[in-house]
C-alpha cells in the first residue's frame, strides 16, 4: 500500500497509541518483536497499517490502525483488503481476528468486508478504567 520503506516501529507505536485505548497500545519494542517473528507481515504506512501473521494455511490480523485524521476515507477498508491479499499470497485459506465488543467502527468495517463472528471471549480486554470488555472472534475464508 505504500511506496517507500516501511515506517519504523516507533512511528507505528505512535500511531497505535493514537488509535487504541482498549486493548492497550503496543510499544515500539513489542512491534519490533512481532515484526521479527516468522510469518509476520505489515501492510500500510505511518498513516495506517495492518499487522498480520500466517501459520500454515491460517492468518491472523493482529492489529489494524488508522490515524484519527485519516479516518472515514476508506483507508481501513484498503488496509484490510491488503492484509487479506497478502495472507492469501502466503498460502492462507482462512483468516481470523479479535475485536473489542465495544469497537463499533471496527466491527462495521469487518462486517462490511464479510467477516463473521465465530466466538466470544468474555472479559478478555481490560478497559483503561479497569473494567472488562468481551473480545469477539471473527473469521473469514480467503
Whether 126 maps to a domain, the answer reads yes
Average pLDDT, the chain: 91
Question: Which residues constitute the domain of residue 96?
Answer: 9-141
98 given a catalytic annotation: yes
Percentage of the chain with pLDDT > 90?
75
Does 1 map to a domain? no
Distance of CA 35 to the CA centre of its chain: 13
Q: How many CA atoms lie within 13 A of 22 on its CB side?
A: 19
Residue 127 lies in a domain: yes
Active site (annotated) includes residue 110: yes
Q: What is the pLDDT of residues 34-78, one digit of tens each?
A: 999 999 999 998 789 999 999 999 999 999 999 888 888 899 999
Residue 3 counted as domain residue = no
| Chain-centroid distance, C-alpha 62 | 5
Confidence of residue 2 (pLDDT cuts 50, 70, 90): very low
Which of the following is catalytic: 110, 124, 125, 129? Answer: 110
CATH code, domain carrying 133: 3.40.630.30
| Active-site residue (options: 60, 84, 86, 98) | 98
**pLDDT tens digit sequence for 120-135:** 999 999 888 889 999 9
**Looking at the 3D structure of the chain, how many domains does it have?**
1
Phi–psi pair at 73, nearest 5 degrees: -125, 10
Which residues are CB-neighbours of 81 under 8 A, at least 6 positions away? 113
Residue where the block lists cell 512511528: 11
Amino acid at each position: 500500500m505504500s511506496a517507500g520503506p516501511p515506517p519504523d516501529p516507533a512511528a507505528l507505536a505512535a500511531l497505535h497509541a493514537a488509535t487504541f485505548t482498549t486493548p492497550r497500545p503496543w510499544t515500539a519494542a513489542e512491534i519490533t518483536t512481532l515484526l521479527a517473528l516468522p510469518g509476520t507481515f505489515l501492510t500500510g504506512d505511518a498513516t495506517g497499517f495492518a499487522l498480520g501473521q500466517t501459520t500454515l494455511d491460517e492468518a491472523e490480523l493482529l492489529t489494524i490502525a488508522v490515524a484519527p485524521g485519516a479516518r472515514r476515507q476508506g483507508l481501513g477498508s484498503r488496509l484490510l483488503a491488503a492484509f487479506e491479499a497478502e495472507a492469501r499470497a502466503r498460502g492462507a485459506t482462512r483468516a481470523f481476528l479479535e475485536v473489542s465488543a465495544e469497537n463499533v467502527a471496527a466491527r462495521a468495517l469487518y462486517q462490511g468486508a464479510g467477516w463473521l463472528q465465530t466466538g466470544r471471549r468474555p472479559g478478555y480486554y481490560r478497559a483503561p478504567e479497569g473494567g472488562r470488555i468481551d473480545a469477539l472472534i471473527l473469521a473469514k475464508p480467503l
